[in-house]
Structure 1
């Protein structure tokens, strides 16, 4: 089934939507992994780590719904 590619943005605009482009961190990069690990250690070793973990544990798990 052939779909007119140009008509898709037109249909979206007709529904009141607009297209945007979003740049996000590349979670596959070594630099991202290194920084995420550094931040996780900082949180784990903070004076409020117990409070932080209690907050996280209290959040609902979307997979349970």
Structure 2
């Protein structure tokens, strides 16, 4: 019987604490940026990675049906 009371108390505590935990935090103001981002060339790396993945798929699915033994 004590376990049921303990479970009920834990459920009641979680229901009463949920709104307090879910409160929104204050928004922080963004600092002004002095210079632009220097990561503008990352799209080139993305294209190269995509090309490497496509090349790996083509190489892996190459169907050379030549027998190995003579």
TM-score, structure 1 length as denominator?
0.30
Instruction: Tell which structure's C-alpha radius of gyration is larger.
Output: 2
TM-score, structure 2 length as denominator?
0.28
Query: Which has the higher relative contact order, 1 or 2, with Cα contacts under 8 A spaced 6 or more apart?
Result: 1
